[in-house]
Amino acid sequence: MNEQHTVPQAGRRLIGLYPARYRELYGEDIAATFAEATEGLTGRALLRERLDLASHALRLRLRIASTDPAGRILAGAAPIALALGVGESLYDQAWYVEDVIRAVSRVATRPALAAGTLGAYAALVVPWIVALLCAAAGRWKPARRAAVLGLLAETAFWELILGHTWQMYGEFARIALLAALVLLAPADLVDTGRRGRWEVTGLAIGAGLPLAALAASDATVLGVFWQSVPALLPIWAFAVAAALLLAHLSARRPDLFRAAGIALGTVPWLLEQLPRRVPTVWAATAFVVLIGGAVALGGIIRLLRRAIDTEPAEPA
């Protein structure tokens, strides 16, 4: 008897998402496993099993599964994108906190406005803090869910509060690409070991807090008020990511797929200033100089190390 006939119609449709060749080889095993895993389940538990099955099928069809090079690159990109997203949220604290302080001071006279401001602050900030804490603890799946929730809150904020104007296209593009990187990465390949946790935490703090300090102090950079440079946030994101990329490429045995993922994880911030021409040019130039420079310097270090390792020893 074909095991697949024991699977409900919804499950059979999900199994149909697998590539034909894979389904031909493993379809009955997948059907039997799915039927056993979902037996007696209802509601959220059943939905979770169906989403896991559909996710695995689509990863294989898109060739971004754990065994594919693209999957390994995405696994390197996702924590970088999440960390930089947290960093941007930390930077935004300089503006949010001012709004919150003003709202609290008006609780007595305008309670509805104060409540709305505090609610918006919580929606925009709390998911990213949770994402950072989960990532720092090595819990990638809840970190991913929290980050997506934060991105949805950002989208609602830009759309409902600021309006959908041509100036927001770059912000929406950044949010969409960042969400795609975080969601598409194979969870089992994301580095949740001690080194990976430290990297995510350090990158998030390094990307966000220095600019937040500048914003809070109204400081200048090279004598220029830093807010007059709209592309400073992505430029700084590229700088901290480039330092991490160089550290990876300088290792004795670098993981080139993960290194490529680090570079890919910064790409959403290339889109942030679209369609404003001058800031976009600045950001693109910084990406080429910083990320490209890290790749070039890492390659030079590898060549030098290889030359030193292969140099014959002098005779005694």
Q: Are residues 155 and 36 in the same domain?
A: no
Q: Are residues 136 and 284 in the same domain?
A: yes
Among 39, 62, 85, give the residue marking a domain's end: 62
pLDDT band at 251 (very low <50, low <70, confident <90, very high): confident
245 belongs to a structural domain = yes
292 belongs to a structural domain = yes
Q: How many domains does the chain have?
A: 2
Side-chain-side CA neighbours of 37 within 13 Å: the count stands at 16
Query: What amino acid is encoded at 75 in this protein?
Result: A
Q: Are residues 258 and 204 in the same domain?
A: yes
Q: What is the 3-state secondary structure (H, E, C) of 167-213?
A: HHHHHHHHHHHHHHHHHHCCCCCCCCCHHHHHHHHHHHHHHHHHHHH
Average pLDDT, integer, range 176-196: 93
| Least confident window among 43-52, 124-133, 187-196, 234-243 | 43-52
| Least confident window among 83-92, 106-115, 153-162 | 106-115
pLDDT digits (tens, 9 = 90+) for 54-95: 888 888 888 898 889 999 999 999 999 999 999 988 888 777
| Non-local CB neighbours of 31 within 8 Å, separated by 6+ positions | 2, 3, 4, 6, 7, 11, 12, 15
Average pLDDT, integer, range 33-59: 82
pLDDT of residue 276 exceeding 90, the answer is: no
Q: Specify the pLDDT at position 3.
A: 43
**Full domain range(s) for residue 17:** 3-62
130: left (phi over 0), alpha (psi -120 to 50) or beta: alpha
315 belongs to a structural domain = no
Average pLDDT, integer, range 279-299: 92
pLDDT digits (tens, 9 = 90+) for 192-233: 999 999 999 999 999 988 877 777 676 555 444 555 556 688
99 belongs to a structural domain = yes
Average pLDDT, integer, range 280-290: 92
pLDDT of residue 1 exceeding 60, the answer is: no
Name the average pLDDT for the chain: 84
* DSSP assignment letter at 107: T
316 belongs to a structural domain = no
Q: Are residues 241 and 286 in the same domain?
A: yes
314 belongs to a structural domain = no
Q: Are residues 115 and 55 in the same domain?
A: no
d(CA 42, CA 165): 43
Q: Specify the pLDDT at position 54.
A: 86
Among 19, 46, 62, give the residue marking a domain's end: 62
Q: Are residues 104 and 47 in the same domain?
A: no
Q: Are residues 14 and 129 in the same domain?
A: no
Q: Specify the pLDDT at position 163.
A: 63
pLDDT of residue 50 exceeding 80, the answer is: yes
Q: Specify the pLDDT at position 2.
A: 45
Q: Are residues 27 and 148 in the same domain?
A: no
Among 33, 62, 91, give the residue marking a domain's end: 62
Contact yes or no for 128/150 (Cβ under 8 A): yes
Q: Specify the pLDDT at position 222.
A: 46
Q: Which long-range contacts (CB under 8 A, 24 or more apart) does 141-144 make?
A: 141/187, 143/82, 144/78, 144/82, 144/182, 144/183, 144/187
pLDDT of residue 139 exceeding 60, the answer is: yes
Q: Are residues 154 and 40 in the same domain?
A: no
237 belongs to a structural domain = yes
Q: Are residues 50 and 164 in the same domain?
A: no
Q: Are residues 11 and 110 in the same domain?
A: no
CB atoms within 10 A of CB 264: 19
313 belongs to a structural domain = no
Q: Specify the pLDDT at position 221.
A: 53
Q: Are residues 181 and 300 in the same domain?
A: yes
